[in-house]
Amino acid sequence: MLQMKHYETEFKKKIVRLHLEEGRSLKSLAVEYGVSHASISNWTNQFRNECQTNEEAQADYNFMKENLKLRKQLAELQKENEFLKKAAAFFAKEID
């Protein structure tokens, strides 16, 4: 017989936040926390549905989306900065 496991609300919120705010994949979260991919997907959908009626949840969701966008932008800018440092070092050697 299949037994349903109950997860605390705070645990669910943590997993959803890791997915939406930090951009973690459902697969990696499922493996790391021992939760099914389907459960995480359901929790994420429930949170998105809650955002339709709850202004506080909507504000959290918007914050998470913005935070994810900024994290991605920061990572891209860090890559560009490293490239420019290497290029500057290369051209500095060429001048000498």
DSSP H helices, the chain, are: 9-22, 26-33, 37-53, 55-95
The domain limits of the chain are 9-95
pLDDT score of 95: 72
pLDDT-above-70 percentage for the chain: 95
pTM: 0.66
